[in-house]
Structure 1
């Protein structure tokens, strides 16, 4: 039986982070070499920023939060994998009765890092609330986002800045990105120059190491990789950054707060956004959590918070902690990490029976703009 791997990335990055170390040290190639089909997914706003509406304004284009990553982007990716595999396996399209069944001729294991971890958890939980199949068999989450109250001074200052200035910045700065090819070319050249000048490069490495932790010696060079080129340098919505600041401030893994009781009522049926941590009991597949002791972006204490809530909710969850920093999970070559991830893939077993009709919650999404 085929096992598939879906990989999701982190803040201001793309799927190419999973192959950035080439055929020897990259997680995607390691899984492929073991015989798995590998699918790499991008969230909206990353890499090519095309849109079906060629006249869409910048403000409309960037009007999305992590909600849209978890409830629209990942479902679209998973359904595309389902379409590809059923076609490859010469299976007919399932009937409406079969569509709600977990009996599918393949398994999907989602391997996610940072923001991708938060989005995939949101995806699984909202699918279960809405009584839809999520089609996944296992989650391997590397330093997943969601809880952020234990952070360094720089991240805390950014949190307060975003929350305080949100009403002003949201219409003025809808997204954090470099708008023209010319300026992306300058940034790309600057990154390469920093990598070539030891004195300046060393200073930037020190600053990056303070914010993210770990050995930053190869991170400046990463900025010259294909996914940071002049054509497709990634960007991120202001509302995604604000959503992370809201989570940190509230000390909860919550969906996006639209800023008013009426707006939240329209989307969630309540005055407050959905607290995803309260619904961990809906997770019906095994979850493997991995934390990095040198990670200063998402510290081990925050990954352990996921683990504690999942254990209390009777989720089949494991926890592992190693000497990694935040960017090490994808950009650095660690044989131990690759071996651990491969060992988790081998544990995929039969899908559990679906248990529907648990605590009902209204979840009606606003119209989203999809790349």
Structure 2
């Protein structure tokens, strides 16, 4: 799991359809129903994160852009033998993972997405930082124990109560006034996140982190990442048994080992171009994980490209540099 999902990473576009950050507290994991032996239609709904909507012919923000085609804007889809718009979808981290689940679940025709641009997407986790290793070690037994006490246990991970949040965020501001303490915090963060080059100390001072409210991440989102790490593949949420997976994804999974494998179904993307971007200084989702996506897509016949920038994990959405902006706009105009 990573902090960008908790912050629902900010991409400035109009007509946003994402809910408030507080909605992530009610998220219950990454599963959904299946109908045809592939990923179920509703499966992507439980992997909520940073996906936004906008029009790429008037906005320069990152999100899902709708650009007009030659058919013009008609009365509906199929006017003049084609669709009146094309969607370009951009996702970062868990947002990229969510887009892949959505597009694989629905296929190219039904997703209505013309192009995917994925910035250091989650899903494959062949290399993980120390913080993720600790989560993988302790979260499963803690969650099992919680389920024994309360079978319907679900929780959002965030700093509770107004008072505690005020104390914590005041502490962060005070640390910035003490250079030696700030250097120590940065050193500890880099150690836990495999020397990730992001400005995590500044990210935690964003306006949506305050005493009144803050983003949260579902414990089941983190558990989904743990499952992908342990399985060594990009898969849907494992409900813990064949019967539970069959109830979520369809009766055919009653005899299969584990939940649907998303990467194994990349062929459902059809002719949709997919542009993968990795950060050479990203310690949260290192470039090796993005290359695993790229290799799987090429093996499935997907039109996938791969590019690296000298960015940390949060640099793709926090203090975005000009070279990434130019690259993104060039892709969005295609």
SS at match of 1:145: coil
- Name the structure 1 match of 2:176: 195
SS at match of 1:182: helix
- Name the structure 2 match of 1:274: 260
- Name the structure 2 match of 1:283: 269
- Tell me, in whole angstroms, the C-alpha distance in 1 between the residues paired with 2:298 and 2:144: 38
Deviations 1:214-237 (A, max 9, x none): 434x43122121121223310011
Measure how far apart 1:65 and its partner are: 3.0
Measure how far apart 1:173 and its partner are: 6.3
Measure how far apart 1:71 and its partner are: 3.2
Residues 12 and 123 (structure 1 numbering): CA distance in 2 closer, same or farther, change over 3 Å? Answer: same
After TM superposition, the score normalised by the length of structure 1 is 0.71
Q: How does 1:85-164 map to 2 (within 5 A)?
A: 92=75, 103-128=82-107, 133-164=110-141
Q: CA RMSD in A?
A: 3.3
- Tell me, in whole angstroms, the C-alpha distance in 2 between the residues paired with 1:190 and 1:113: 29
- Name the structure 2 match of 1:295: 282
Measure how far apart 1:195 and its partner are: 2.1
Matched, 1:47 2:21: yes
Question: In the alignment, is the contact (CA less than 8 A) between 1:184 and 1:229 conserved in 2?
Answer: yes
Measure how far apart 1:263 and its partner are: 0.7
Deviations 1:319-347 (A, max 9, x none): 00121111111113321111111111122
Residues 195 and 202 (structure 1 numbering): CA distance in 2 closer, same or farther, change over 3 Å? Answer: same
Q: Which runs of 5+ in 1 are unaligned?
A: 1-8, 19-27, 29-36, 51-57, 348-371
Question: In the alignment, is the contact (CA less than 8 A) between 2:29 and 2:237 conserved in 1?
Answer: no
- Name the structure 1 match of 2:295: 308
SS at match of 1:315: coil
Matched, 1:318 2:305: yes
- Tell me, in whole angstroms, the C-alpha distance in 2 between the residues paired with 1:78 and 1:114: 14
Aligned positions, number? 298
Measure how far apart 1:193 and its partner are: 1.8
After TM superposition, the score normalised by the length of structure 2 is 0.78
- Tell me, in whole angstroms, the C-alpha distance in 2 between the residues paired with 1:268 and 1:102: 35
SS at match of 1:227: coil
SS at match of 1:11: helix
Matched, 1:14 2:40: no
Question: In the alignment, is the contact (CA less than 8 A) between 2:176 and 2:182 conserved in 1?
Answer: yes
The equivalent position to 2:45 in structure 1, one of 71, 82, 88, is 71
- Tell me, in whole angstroms, the C-alpha distance in 2 between the residues paired with 1:189 and 1:166: 31
Residues 132 and 341 (structure 1 numbering): CA distance in 2 closer, same or farther, change over 3 Å? Answer: closer
Measure how far apart 1:39 and its partner are: 4.9
- Tell me, in whole angstroms, the C-alpha distance in 2 between the residues paired with 1:112 and 1:301: 18
Measure how far apart 1:79 and its partner are: 9.2
Question: In the alignment, is the contact (CA less than 8 A) between 1:14 and 1:227 conserved in 2?
Answer: no
- Tell me, in whole angstroms, the C-alpha distance in 2 between the residues paired with 1:102 and 1:245: 45
Q: Which runs of 5+ in 2 are unaligned?
A: 33-41, 56-64, 67-71
